[in-house]
Amino acid sequence: MPGIPPEAILEALIPGYGFFARLIFNLGNDISSSFFILMASLAFGAYAVPAFRSRLQTFILAFAASIEIRYNDELYNSSLRWISRRNSLNRTLHLVAGAGKFQPWDDEHIDIRENSPRKTICASKATREISGPNERPYHLHHFTYKGCWIALRRQPYENIRVPWAADIEKLQFYAAPWRTQTLKSLLSDVQESSVEHDNRRIVIRRAVRLGSKFEWTDETFRKPRPLSTIIMDHRQKKEIIEDLQNYLNPRTRQFYQSRGFPYRRGYLLYGPPGTGKSSLCFALAGLARLPIYLVSPSATGLDECSLGSLFRSLPEQCIVLFEDIDQAGIRKRNSGIPLSHEHEETVEDEERSVQEKGTNGITLSAILNVLGGVAAQEGRILVMTTNHFEDLDYALVRPGRVDMKVFLGHADQSAVQEQFLTVYLKPVDELVIGNRDSAGSICPLSAPASPKWALDDIVNLKPSPFGSTCSGGDSELSFAV
C-alpha cells in the first residue's frame, strides 16, 4: 500500500516484530540470517529430536526385561481392564472419543437405571466415560509398580486386512533387567483380576480371520443365564444337566483315563430355528462356568489347517460351539453301503472316505479329525446346533462324537405358560421357574418382579392386573392381552 512502510505491515501481521528487529539490528546481526537459524532450530526440534528420542528408547528397551501380550491372548482384555484402573495411566492429553462402542473390558461399568427407556438411552450416550483403554496408544506410557519403574508400549499390528481389526495391538511391559520378578508379579496381578472378573461373566470367544490365519478373539462377556429361563422339556433339561455335571466330576476324568477312553463329551442340539439351541448352550456354560468358543464352519477361508490350529490352541476345559453345522457346505455321503455296515466303520475308514468339500474348503475328514481323531484334544465339551438333523452325515453324529442328542421343538401350552412367568417373576437359581402340582397348575419358586403385582393373579392369569398400570420408580408398566 502506498505511503505505508513495510515495517508497519509486518508489525500488524506479527505483533512484536518491530521490537525484535531493532534488538537484532542493535546487536549487529542480519535479521534474515537470524530468521533462517530460528526456522532451522524449530525444524530440528520438531523432527530430529523426536526421532532421536525414539531411537534412544528403542536402544534402552532392547536391554530391558519385557513381557509381551498379544491381541488374541486371553490376558489381552484383562490387561486393558487392569490398565484402565490405574490413575497414573489415565493422565493423557490425547484421547479418542466415541459413543455407542462396546469394549469387552468396560461391561462391568454398565449400570441399570430405573428411568424410562428414552431417558436411559440419552443418559448413557451423554455420560459415557472416556477411560484409559481409549487413549491414543501408539507411544510409551510410564508408571511405577511396587517401587519399580515400568514402561508400557501399545504397538499396533501391521498388515491387518480386516477393517474392524484395524485398531488391534499388542502390549509390551518393560522393566530393568534385574526386575524380572516384578514383571512376573505384575502379570500375576493381571491374572488374579481376570479370574475375579471372569467368575462373574461368561467369556465368549470367536474364531476370526486376522491376516492370513484364524485366531480366537474375545467377542463379549455376558452374565450367566439362569437355567430356569430356558423353557424346554423338564426331563430333557434334567438329563443334560446331570450328564454335564457327571462329566465334569474329577472322578469321571480318572475313570476315562484309567481305561484309555478319550475324555470328551459331545452334544447335538437340533430343531426348528428359534427354539433356544444357542440359549441352552449359553446356560450350560453358565452352570459349568466355562468359556464358549464359537466356530462357524462356513467362515470364508477356513480350511483344515486353520481348523486344526484353532483346536490345538483351545484351553483344557471349555465349550466349543459349532453353530449351524448343516450350513458348512459338507454334503451327506451316499456311498450305497447298508446302514448296518456303515455303522461298523472305524475312525480310519471314516478318514479315508470320500471327502465332500464345502464352499470354504472344510472337508468332512477335517472335522472328524479335530473332533475325534488320534490327535484330538481331550477335556473340551463339544456342542453342535443344526436345523436339519437329517442332513448330517452319520460319522459326524455317531456315539463317541455326539453322546447326547437333544431335540428342541416349538413351544406347547405348558412352555408358553412358563415363558410368561419368566417375564413377570424374578429369576430363580433352579432348573425350572416353577413346579406343577397334580392338577397341572404351576407353583412358582420365586416372587413377582414388582411388589405391585399379585402372585395369584399372575399365575392364574386373572384379568385383574391386565389393563391396569403398575408403577415402579419413575417408570410405568402396563399389562395387556
- Specify the length of the chain in residues: 481
Specify which of 214-223, 264-273, 348-357, 424-433 reaches the highest per-range mean pLDDT: 264-273
Lowest mean pLDDT among 55-64, 170-179, 338-347, 445-454: 338-347
Supply the pLDDT for residue 245: 92
Query: Are the beta carbons of 472 and 114 closer than 8 angstroms?
Result: yes
Q: Which residue has the cell 486393558?
A: 80
Query: pLDDT (tens digit, 9 = 90+) per residue, 299-334?
Result: 777 888 888 888 888 888 899 999 888 876 666 666
Segment 434-453 mean pLDDT: 66
Q: Which residues of 3-36 are buried (b: 16+ CB within 10 A; e: fewer)?
A: eeeeeeeeeeeeeebeeebeebeeeeeeeeeeee
Segment 219-246 mean pLDDT: 88
How far is CA 395 from its chain centroid?
A: 32
Check: pTM over 0.85? Answer yes or no.
Answer: no
Q: Mean pLDDT for the chain?
A: 73
CA distance 465 to 478: 9
Res 158 pLDDT > 70: no
Query: Are the beta carbons of 217 and 238 closer than 8 angstroms?
Result: no
Q: How far is CA 11 from CA 8, 21, 29, 35, 183, in A?
A: 5, 10, 19, 15, 58
130 vs 18, higher pLDDT: 18
Closest CA to 21 of 12, 31, 11, 13: 31
Q: In what order do the strands lie in the sheet with 140-145?
A: 65-69, 169-175, 148-156, 140-145
Residue type, 317: Q
CA distance 123 to 98: 15
The C-alpha R_g of the chain, in whole angstroms, comes to: 32
- The Cβ of residue 264 has, within 10 Å, a number of other Cβ atoms equal to 19
406 vs 2, higher pLDDT: 406
- Give the DSSP letter of residue 44: I
How far is CA 334 from its chain centroid?
A: 39
Q: Decide the pairing of beta strands 140-145 and 148-156.
A: antiparallel
Query: pLDDT (tens digit, 9 = 90+) per residue, 47-99?
Result: 777 777 778 877 888 888 888 888 777 788 788 888 877 776 666 555 555 55
Segment 184-197 mean pLDDT: 81
For residue 362, the SS3 value is: coil
In the chain the domains, ranked by start, together with CATH numbers, are 6-63 (no CATH), 65-98+127-200 (no CATH), 202-332+359-407 (3.40.50.300), 413-460 (no CATH)
